[in-house]
Amino acid sequence: MTPNTPDDSEFARLHLIVTGRVQGVFYRHSTLDTARTLALCGWVRNSPNGRQVEIIAEGRISALKALVAWAHDGPPAARVDHLEARWSNFTGEFQAFSVR
């Protein structure tokens, strides 16, 4: 566990910025499938700059960590150059996971 990551049994919010070849390679829809499998709520969207995907997810810490591990590679056609993860408190804002 990293110093800024809460305990695995807790719930949290995660904001990911994924940079690289992540648009036009099914990254958003693959994130949707992965997040739903992990029972996470939130959203994923392309950033206007064409080189980033932004993800907001809430759920169990263990599931969020699994999403981070998956996001380092993404779908087969993606190339992830950088992943920035920011952890914060769970808000319960979302009822499901969606693509924006």
Rounded to a whole number, what is the distance in angstroms from the first to the last CA of the chain?
30
Which SS3 state, helix, strand or coil, does residue 17 take?
A: strand
CA distance linking residue 38 with residue 91, whole number of Å: 18
Helix 61-71 and helix 27-37: axis angle, to 10°?
150
| Residues recognised as catalytic | 28, 46
